[in-house]
Structure 1
C-alpha cells in the first residue's frame, strides 16, 4: 500500500429538508456497533446535539480508517494519544489512532469539524516519524473583536490589515485553519500560543481547496504533513 494523503468530507448529520443523513436511531446503532466503550461513555455525558455530532464524526472516522486498511470497522480498537494524558484505552482525545490485532494500525489520522461538517485526513503506511494534521474552519466563527491580537503574528496582522468584511473573515479562517493543522501535526495544540506561529509561508502546511477537501466553498481548510 503506497503512502499518500487521502482527504474526505462528511456532510452534517442534520440536513433540514433532506434525507441523506441516517436517522438518530441508526446513528446510535452504528455507534454501539463500531465505537469502543470509552468513546460511548464520553458521548453519554454530552447534550443531544453535540452527542450526535460527536458520534457521527467518530463513526465516520472509524469507517474511513477501516476502508483504507481493508478491514472491518469493528476490528479496530481506538487508541488516542495526548501530550498531557498519554495514550491508552481510556484516552478519547488528542491524536487519533487505532490498533489492529493488538498492534498500532499503519495509518495516520486527523479529524476536524466545522459548521456540522467532518473533515477527515489520513496517510496509510506512513514513513518513519511522519505526522499529520488537518483543520476546517467556518469564517463566521471568527467575526469578533480581538481575534487578530490573540491569533496572528505581526506579519500576519499586516497582511490582513487592508481587508474588511467577508474578505477579512475568509483570510482569518484560512490562517487559523493552517495554524490548527500545523499544531495538530506537531502535537502542541493550543499549548503553543497561536500568535507566535507564523503560517503565511510555513513549509509543510497548505490550504485545501474545496475541490480537494469536499467541503463547501464557504469553509476554509488546511493540511499539515511532515
Structure 2
C-alpha cells in the first residue's frame, strides 16, 4: 500500500476567561486515560497554560495515531527518539512514534503548535527510509530586529528584502515554518544553524495552505517529506 500523508489541525483547547489551573487539572485527569506516565510527569513540570497545550496536543496526536492504525489509543505506548538522548520509554521529546504489540507502529508522525493551535501530520505505511516534519508559525512572533540575520540564508534575506509590515512577517514565517519542518524531518532540529539551511526551493518541502491544513489564515504552515 502506498504511503499517504494526513494533515490535521486542532483548535485551541483554552477557553477565554477559564481558570487555567483548574482547566489544566481537568485536562490532566482526562489525559490519564490515554497518555503514558512519562508524558504526564513532564506535563506536571509546566505552568498551567503550557501544560494544557502540551496535554491537548499529545492527546490529539495519540488519538490520530489510533484512528489511522485502527486500534484503541490505550493500546499504544509512546516511543520518542532524540539524536542526543536516544529513544526509550522515558524519552518524551524528539521525533514522535508509538509501539503497538511490542513493535514500532507503521506510522510517521510530526507535531507543531502555535497560538494555541496544534498541527499534526502523519504518514501511513511509510517506506523504511521515509521521514516527516511539520511546522506551524504565528507571523506576529517574528516581529523583532535581527531575525533575518540569525535565521535566513543570503538568498532568503534577498527574497524578503522588498517586503514590509504584515507581508514581511508572513514572508519570514513562511521560511521559518519550512526550515522547522525540514529540520524536524532530518531530526537535527535547531542543533543545525538555521541560517545555513536554504528552503526557498528545497525538494520535499512545501507550504500548507489553510484549505489544506485546516488552520486559520493568520497562521503559516509547512510540511517536509523525504
Displacement after TM superposition at 1:155 (Å): 0.4
SS in 2 for 1:94: coil
TM-score by structure 1 length?
A: 0.95
Paired position in structure 1 for 2:129: 129
SS in 2 for 1:34: coil
Preserved CA contact (<8 Å) 1:30 1:59 = no
Preserved CA contact (<8 Å) 1:109 1:120 = yes
Output the CA distance in 2 between the equivalents of 1:184 and 1:208: 16
Say whether residues 1:104 and 2:121 are aligned partners: no
Displacement after TM superposition at 1:27 (Å): 2.2
Say whether residues 1:82 and 2:82 are aligned partners: yes
Paired position in structure 1 for 2:189: 189
Displacement after TM superposition at 1:2 (Å): 4.0
SS in 2 for 1:184: helix
Displacement after TM superposition at 1:16 (Å): 2.8
Output the CA distance in 2 between the equivalents of 1:17 and 1:88: 39
Preserved CA contact (<8 Å) 2:9 2:215 = yes
Unaligned stretches of 5+ in structure 1? none
Unaligned stretches of 5+ in structure 2? none
Displacement after TM superposition at 1:24 (Å): 4.8
After superposing on structure 2, the runs of 4+ consecutive aligned residues of structure 1 that deviate more than 6 Å are: none
TM-score by structure 2 length?
A: 0.95
192-201 vs 1-10, which deviates more? Answer: 1-10
Over aligned residues, Cα RMSD in angstroms? Answer: 1.3
Alignment of 1:23-172 (within 5 A): 24=24, 26-172=26-172
**What per-residue deviation string (whole Å, max 9, x for no partner) do you get for residues 34-57 of structure 1?**
000000110111111111110000
Paired position in structure 1 for 2:202: 202
Preserved CA contact (<8 Å) 1:5 1:123 = yes
Displacement after TM superposition at 1:3 (Å): 1.4
